[in-house]
Amino acid sequence: MALRNIREMGDPVLNKICKPVKEMTPRTKELIEDMFDTLYESNGVGLAAPQVGILKRIFVTDDTGDNPLVFINPEILMSSGEQTGYEGCLSVPGKTGTVTRPQYVKVGAYDADMNYFELEATDLLARCICHESDHLDGHLYVEKVEGELYDTESPDDEDEDGEEE
């Protein structure tokens, strides 16, 4: 397994629509494994293939640290309710913003063995599925932010006069 470089906002690959996966290949399996390694190393909740420079309709999530899920060619089948909260992204480091997403989603996708499944999710997992699905269509959460983006950097980076050291 290997860590992949995470593309950051401004990289044109993040604004492209991803292509469906037609079959599972050894390279695609390796990509999925690398995506989980990269996700865990970065302390993220989800990671989409375009974030590591691959234009395939794949994302991985783990909302609890013990719930790894693979979504290939995902499609949100149903959504309802709403939740508003802070959201961040590994491709937009050091920033957060308020985003409203569905409280509930039902998604259909294929797993790493190309078996179709449907999953119902609420709360953080629902937010993550919507966020990562947006990546596959070339969209970043910053397009949905209500208000402004905030720095997530700690004030420890400043000295007592409020100036950066």
- Burial level of 47, CB count in 10 A (0-12/13-18/19+)? buried
**Given 30, 87, 132, 164, the catalytic residue:** 132
* Residues 160, 10: Cα–Cα separation, whole Å: 33
pLDDT attached to residue 60: 98
Contacts of 160 (CB under 8 A, 6+ apart): none
Give the domain 12-153 fold.
Peptide Deformylase (3.90.45)
Place of tokens 């596959």: 136
Cα-Cα-Cα-Cα dihedral sign, residues 126, 129, 131, 134: negative
pLDDT of 84-137, one tens digit each? Answer: 999 999 999 999 999 999 999 999 999 999 999 999 999 999 999 999 999 999
Q: Where are the domains of the chain?
A: 12-153
Please write the tens of the pLDDT for every residue from 56-87: 999 999 998 899 999 999 999 999 999 999 99
pLDDT confidence of 152, banded at 50, 70, 90? Answer: confident
pLDDT > 90: what percent of the chain? 88
Which pLDDT score, from 0 to 100, does residue 31 have? 98
Q: Which tens digits make up the pLDDT trace of 11-28?
A: 999 999 999 999 999 999
Q: For residue 132, indicate whether it is catalytic.
A: yes
Nearest to 116 by CA among 75, 79, 59: 75
Q: Is residue 155 predicted with pLDDT exceeding 70?
A: no
